[in-house]
Structure 1
Amino acid sequence: MNRMKAFTLTSFLAFILVLSACSSESGGNSGDSEASEDSVTLTIGSWRTEDKASYQKIIDKFNEENPDINVEFKPSKNTEYNTILNTALQSGEGPDIIHLRPYTPGIELADAGYLEPLDDLEGLDQYPDETLAASKGSDDKHYGVPLNMSTTQMFYNKKMFEEMGLEEPQTWDEFMALNEKIKKEGTTPIALGTKEGWLLSLSHGIIGPAHYGGNEFVDQITAGETDFTSDEFQSSIDAMDELKQFFPENYEGLGMEDIRTMFFTGDAAMFPLGSWEIEVLREMNPDLELGFFPIPSAVGKEPTITTWVDGSYAINASSEHKDAAKKFLQFMTTEEFGTMFTEEFKMISAIPGIESEDELVNALGKAAEEQSTPYMMLVHFAGGNPSTKATIETELQGMYLGERTPEEVAKTVQESAQSWYEPLQK
């Protein structure tokens, strides 16, 4: 009886083995094995930790047409990203797809040989030359797919303006009078602190063009036809100094989190910052009614919105999956991606012609097309060691602490630029 049981069990196991073999031959497990062998995994490095959920939606859309390319969005903390990325690249490692800082930092990576040229990537020809310039190497090759356009402008609280009977200013004098009226009402006019230097170069990028004249001055100084000690640029520094009377109390000790909180809680009426803040502010205060206006000119020019390409995506030259990475970057040049990006991130896509269903984002996009001036310090003067952009930040901090005069600020900025920028060395 025991022998019969043993024989039956042995026969049953043999049957199971035969059945499994037949299943493999018919493509069951074998097909899964091939899919696993054929698939690749791409990693994306970025400083946008807050965007992880939105990027997953982008990746899911990409996978509908590319199921064998696994994409992992692995951002690092904003303040640590550059160090982490540079250390990895120097070791021949790093993510397959790299979120490039715009202009000088990204171009330096291209010039160092860390990035794969993308001149043959279909879709790049739709971007204007000035957009592609954000990630164009010194060898004139293209290394990045532009992601988004950022803008800086004066945001304001619509409800507060309505309650105070205020309207968007059309001239510089009207802007100054508006500040005076808000201050008399017992409210801080402008939420700005000087603790973090980047806030000051950013704010100068908003205020400065109203005094130095926008694009005309930018063309002249980049050609070496004028410099930073000119009356036009000096007046922009003087304006930054004059506006401090409308900043919060103890502004010298306030950073980004402080001034953002002041604005979304209604302790300040205006907030000079970038388009990326829209969603953050709405999350903090869903009832906040946001408006914006370009800073009106003090010299009879048109008001301007300051713009720049705020990041591109590149391929790591050491990646083992360049073809797969190119497929993902190709997807990023499509209208489908541009539309999805705009709606998910509430930012302005770098792809021309993409519109948003968000009224505020769409209005900013149109203003950027019609009233654009470049963020001069980032686009043209982020070179040098320390960079001229970093120099104006520390100099303005010194001015707000009473340690530097506006004239000393302009003089030091000129010395910094002249030390490395050839057109100013003539």
Structure 2
Amino acid sequence: MTKRVKRALLAATMLGFAGPAMAQDVTLTIESWRNDDLTIWQETLIPAFEAKNPGIKLRFNPTAPTEYNAALNSKLEAGSAGDLITCRPFDASLSLYEKGYLAPLQDLEGMKNFGDVAKSGWSTDDGSVTFCVPMASVIHGFIYNADAFAEVGVEPPKTVDAFFAALDKIKEDGTYIPMAMGTNDQWEAATMGYQNIGPTYWHGEEGRLALIKGQQKLTDDQWVEPFRQLARWKDYLGDGYEAQTYPDSQNLFTLGRAAIYPAGSWEISVFNEQADFKMGAFAPPVPKEGDTCYISDHVDIAMGMNAKGPNQEAAKTFLNWVGSEEFATLYANALPGFFSLSNHEVKMEDPLAQEFVSWRTKCKSTIRSTYQILSRGTPNLENETWNASANVIKGTETPEAAAERLQKGLASWYDPQK
């Protein structure tokens, strides 16, 4: 081909007579609240996708977390939202689907890589439609100061008795606060307390789904027992725990003043930067040796498709990649503590993150009991559980009274519990 012919073809293209290769060039815009992820998308995820999908470009467009829901709704209503929508779990995204803003994705090829628990945060109540591809979850457990454990002479506990024996020994030694957690912010007591150890007693998904169906009540023993366990924690939280905030708890642990931290895995990156001692992690202890262990492996973030977006085929190509092993590995290692929800076996480079995710092979996974369906009414079960957990730890409410109050509140508006 002569240079003249080449120039003529180029001119024709620039005038709008594009061939098939040019016609498929599109730019997909991703809406997200994770503005702290910007460099991960720009430096890791976007280059990896674009390298394998020439003709499709990605633009990551984050909004401040507190403004995301309102800003996204306004864009969707105006028809100016991006092609891809980062999805928060449960009702916020379900509402977008019900309004016709998120496309159904259950038939997407990449969706076969996710189980029912993984999809639960972005599915209709009956599970028939899934409208976002799961990206990551956070796992609950306990992070410990390995240097402190070695110094005091305790091992990571596997049973409840061993757990309290370790706390007693640390307390008796006197060098460290046995456990760093406060009750001032309330959510901490519920999220890292009740929802951390609770699945062991209500048997994860079995109990959670039975509660939704009205087959179990919050006053049943398996729902009261976690409160009884929390009531025992107050003796190990150190002086002034009642006024201790969440940042206070983080600081107590990372400064080396506390031996154990009831944790969500999202702490891993922060603790790695701030703590100058070796850390380890152990799963929620089981009542007795040989019992099945359960973990809260809570769905956190997913990606959906704008149902009215102009580039739906390209968007589906990207969403299938989000469901791939490559994306799972890149994302989970770029953000230690945010774990892939896919069925792929993802090897974590961070040893603390690897310890957390290894529990999936030993324990049964569930999500937080209050997040699906049960917090849609007033009183809000999630918020009430915060208050109840804090009260029980402080001793201002008995486990039985707290459970009774939660049950009464839920039954006041939720028909299956009436």
Question: What is the 5 A alignment of 1:154-165?
Answer: 154-165=142-153
Q: Does 1:40 align with 2:26?
A: yes
Q: TM-score, normalised by structure 1?
A: 0.84
> In 2 relative to 1, CA 399–121 (structure 1 residues): closer, same or farther, beyond 3 Å?
same
TM-score computed with the length of structure 2 as normaliser: 0.86
Partner of 1:55: 41
Judged with a 3 Å threshold, the aligned counterparts in structure 2 of structure 1 residues 262 and 48 are, in CA distance, closer, same or farther, namely farther
Give the corresponding residue for 2:257. 267
Paired position in structure 1 for 2:374: 381
Are the counterparts in 2 of residues 155 and 271 from structure 1 also a CA contact under 8 Å?
A: yes
* 1:71, distance to aligned residue in structure 2 (A): 1.7
From 169, 179, 183, give the equivalent of 2:167.
179
Alignment-derived partner of residue 268 in structure 2: 278
Q: Deviations over 1:367-405 (max 9, x none)?
A: 123312422222463432453112211333455666644
When residues 334 and 217 of structure 1 are mapped into structure 2, their CA distance, relative to the original with a 3 A threshold, is closer
Residue 306 of structure 1: SS of its match in structure 2? strand
User: How many residues end up aligned between the 2 structures?
Assistant: 405
The correspondence of residues 21-420 of structure 1 with structure 2, limited to 5 A, is 24-25=7-8, 27=10, 30=13, 39-56=25-42, 57-138=44-125, 140-184=128-172, 185-203=174-192, 204-285=194-275, 287-298=276-287, 301-346=291-336, 347-358=338-349, 359-374=351-366, 375-379=368-372, 381-399=374-392, 404-420=397-413
Contact 2:379 2:410 in 1 (8 A): no
In structure 1, stretches of 5+ residues that fail to align are: 1-19
* Structure-2 separation of matches of 1:330 and 1:382: 32
How far did residue 268 of structure 1 move?
1.3
**How far is the alpha carbon of 1:177 from its aligned partner?**
2.1
Secondary structure, aligned partner of 1:317: coil
Report if aligned partners of 1:106, 1:135 keep a CA contact under 8 Å in 2.
yes
Q: In structure 2, give the amino acid aligned to 1:142.
A: T
The aligned amino acid for 2:218 is F
Separation in 2 of the partners of 1:213 and 1:93?
A: 44
Which runs of no fewer than 5 residues in structure 2 stay unpaired?
none
Contact 1:121 1:326 in 2 (8 A): yes
Shift of 1:299: 6.5
Task: Mark the CA change 1:170 to 1:62 in structure 2 (over 3 Å): closer, same or farther.
Answer: closer
After superposition, the Cα gap between the structure-2 partners of 1:128 and 1:94, relative to the gap in structure 1 and judged at 3 Å, is: same
Q: Which amino acid aligns with 1:27?
A: L
Shift of 1:37: 7.9
Contact 1:213–1:299 (Cα < 8 Å) also in 2: no
Q: What is the CA-CA distance between 1:260 and the residue it aligns to?
A: 1.7
Structure 2 counterpart SS, 1:311 = strand
Deviation at 1:46, TM superposition (A): 2.3
Rounded Cα–Cα distance in structure 2 between residues aligned with 1:266 and 1:122: 47
Could you tell me how far apart the structure 1 residues matched to 2:268 and 2:73 are? 30
Please tell me the root mean square deviation across aligned C-alpha atoms, in Å.
Answer: 2.9
Q: Distance in 1 between matches of 2:114 and 2:101?
A: 23
Contact 1:252 1:400 in 2 (8 A): no
Identical counterparts, % of pairs: 29
Shift of 1:333: 1.3
More displaced 10-residue stretch of structure 1: 212-221 or 382-391: 212-221
3-state SS of 2:317 partner:
helix
Alpha carbons of 1:27 and 1:173: their partners in 2 closer, same or farther (altered >3 Å)? same
Q: Given that residues 306 and 368 in structure 1 are in contact (C-alpha distance below 8 angstroms), is that contact kept between their aligned partners in structure 2?
A: no
Which residue of structure 2 aligns with residue 15 of structure 1?
Answer: none
Report the Cα offset of residue 107 of structure 1. 2.1
2-structure distance, mates of 1:302, 1:138: 28
